[in-house]
A = this chain, B = another copy of it.
């Protein structure tokens, strides 16, 4: 098959070669619409970036890329040095690539894998909502880390390491109920999020149901669409709405520690106190949780184990093992100061 050049892609897109290059390299100085259009064309014509001499056989590289969706999330940030350490111990080279919220991680993965001649690929975070055919063209060994466990691709064509979002959310809310709370609000992902946010909301609902507490849709607060998902700012703004809602609740399950930081600030700025006025339980187990005021009770993900297992699963695939495994870890409920016991 004749090889398509970048010039031809540029001609098809009616743009310059440098614009195509920018689109492929995720340059922020290009609109999302232009980038998406170019990537679509590039994909349609099966364009492979040509890096001249560096384009060698895939097997010769020892480069592993970490594709992060949500690089500003302290939970993911804390995984970076762990991946770096584990990969370095195995003599692998470590390449970091961050993906913006609106970007398609699988397509980016395809391009990065081709362009950088990777030995392997780890998708960290993100909501891979595409049918498993999306991965069909990705010939490079890869592992999903912390990707929601309900994605269609999961358990079919991918090796993956994560926690069971629905079950862990159930445990968090069940914990609040055991502490005597009955009116429990949830601060979940964006309304359109049908992966992590959806699963944790489902766990919240099941915990209410199994404890014979009626589900009240008014107590479900979604992150705002116009702000970055999981950001402190989103937690702060939604938190202010919660405080102003006049609704009656004694506890809040917030599905991310980072978002909890903003929620805490909103409660404080509203003249209320945690846990006296509101109990809060978080999710993730970022280092900062211990130093929040008051210290955050949260569901701690076993990040050391998760990273070690990711690297192991990737290794096996690189070695030619076709078996795909999905490993689910449990979180540890770490009790600190943010939940008041009303059960006494």
Point out residues on A near B: beta carbons under 8 Å.
21-22, 25-29, 52-54, 56-57, 60-61, 71-72, 74, 77-78, 80-81, 84-85, 88-89, 91, 93-98, 116, 232, 236, 261-262, 264-265, 268, 287-288, 290-295
Instruction: Kindly report which residue of chain B lies nearest to residue A26, judged by CB atoms.
Output: B88
**Alpha-carbon distance between A294 and B295 when the two chains are bound, in angstroms:** 15
18 contacts across the A-B interface (CB closer than 8 A): A25-B88, A25-B89, A25-B91, A28-B85, A28-B89, A53-B57, A54-B61, A71-B84, A72-B78, A74-B77, A84-B98, A93-B116, A94-B97, A95-B96, A232-B291, A265-B290, A268-B293, A292-B293
Return chain B residues, CB-CB under 8 Å to A261. 288, 291
Residue numbers in B under 8 Å from A287 (CB-CB): 72, 232
Q: Across the interface, do B97 and A95 meet the contact criterion of CB distance under 8 Å?
A: no
User: Once bound together, how far apart are the Cα atoms of A88 and B115, in whole Å?
Assistant: 12
| Interface contact B53-A60, CB-CB below 8 Å | yes
Residues of B close to A88: CB separation below 8 A: 25-27, 97
User: Across the interface, do B74 and A98 meet the contact criterion of CB distance under 8 Å?
Assistant: no
Taking the full assembly, how many copies of this chain does it contain? 2
A17: min CB distance to chain B, Å = 12
Task: Point out the residues of chain B lying under 8 angstroms from A21, CB to CB.
Answer: 91
By a CB distance below 8 angstroms, the chain B residues around A72 are 78, 81, 287
Q: Which residues of B contact A97 (CB under 8 A)?
A: 84, 88, 94
Nearest CB in chain B to that of A29: its residue = B89
- Grouping DSSP codes into helix (H, G, I), strand (E, B) and loop, the A interface class, with mixed when no group exceeds half, is helix
Is the pair B71, A60 in contact by a Cβ cutoff of 8 Å?
Answer: no
Given B22, B26, B80, B264, which contacts A291 in the complex, CB threshold below 8 Å? B264
A93-B95 contact given A52-B60, A56-B54, A74-B74, CB 8 Å threshold: yes
Docked Cα-Cα span, A236 to B292, in Å, equals: 12
Chain B residue, CB-CB nearest to A117: B54
Q: How distant is A72 from chain B, measured CB to nearest CB, in Å? A: 7
**CA gap between A294 and B60 in the complex, in Å:** 53
- The CA of A66 and the CA of B94, in the complex, are separated in Å by 11
With A21-B91, A53-B60, A81-B98 given, name 8 new contacts (CB 8 A). A27-B89, A29-B89, A52-B60, A54-B60, A54-B61, A74-B77, A80-B80, A94-B96
How far does the alpha carbon of A288 sit from the alpha carbon of B61 in the complex, in Å?
38
Of A21, A78, A85, most B-chain CB atoms within 10 Å: A85
A6 → chain B, closest Cβ, in Å?
A: 12
Contact of A236 among B29, B77, B84, B291 (CB under 8 A): B291
- Cα of A306 to Cα of B87 in the assembled complex, Å: 29
A294 to B94, CA, bound (A): 38
* Distance in angstroms between the alpha carbons of A60 and B52 in the assembled complex: 8
Q: Bound state CA distance, A291 and B257, in angstroms?
A: 13
Nearest CB on B from A96, distance (A): 5
CB contact under 8 A between A265 and B236, given known A56-B54, A80-B71, A84-B98:
no
With a 10 A CB-CB cut-off, give which of A22, A57, A116, A268 has the most chain B CB atoms. Answer: A268
The interface residues of chain B lying within 8 Å CB-to-CB of A236 are 291
Question: Residue of B at shortest CB range from A77?
Answer: B77
Smallest Cβ-Cβ distance to A83: which chain B residue: B96
